[in-house]
Amino acid sequence: MKQHLGGFACASRRIAALIAMFMLASGAAWAQKKPKNKAADQSPMPKVPMPVSDEIDKDIGEMLAAFQLHNIEMMHKYYSDNAVFVSGAYAPPIVGWQNYVEDYKRSLASFQGMQLIRRNTDVFVHGDIAWASYQWEFLSSYQNKPYSAHGQTTLILQKVGDNWLIVHNHTSQVCDQVPEQPQQSPQSQTPPAQNPAAPAPAKPQQ
């Protein structure tokens, strides 16, 4: 009888040892799989599609930031190479990005620092064509004196691949009406050389 009990006890110990080994092996396998699951949890969530109008509004904001920072390369990211630029001045349109860059650089030489404030932006989308209009206020310094201007801009954009590029920029300055002054006699008029016209604002290409 004791032999049977002894054999049973020995078998029980072996079974217990096997169960313990199985539990350790299962625990090790689970521990190895856990980092993989954790890594999967850290994977980036898919981006929620942004409405096209919001995407264009965001692009306009980034383009204007580049304009104020004098970052020509960043500005070019939002313009077509054959974009057309129209101002409120009685002058031919500027055709082509490179031609605009030359005009932009000349304007920078006249102003010290600049801030461009955009308001009341409306964006309309029709297929792969969109247009946006907004009001702007330009603040700067000209010949060490405060200078400001305000106006409106209309942009026409075309979708090229996954990007919306500006193909037409029409920016006009709104000139406030000045009370009419009494006409001076020729003797009292200031010579033109001493009374230069006010500088045109730095064409806010927004």
pTM above 0.85, yes or no: no
Task: Note the pLDDT of residue 19.
Answer: 45
pLDDT band of 166, cuts 50, 70, 90: very high
Domain boundaries, the chain: 52-175
The candidate with the shortest Cα–Cα distance to 66, out of 130, 23, 122, 114, is: 114
For 136-148, the pLDDT digits (tens) are 999 998 888 899 9
Q: Is the dihedral of CA 59, 62, 66, 71 positive or negative?
A: negative
Q: What is the spatial distance between Cα 17 and Cα 51, in angstroms, rounded to a whole number?
A: 63
Of 40-49, 107-116, 131-140, 163-172, give the lowest mean pLDDT range. Answer: 40-49
Tell me which fold the domain 52-175 belongs to: Nuclear Transport Factor 2; Chain: A, (3.10.450)
Average pLDDT over the chain reads: 76
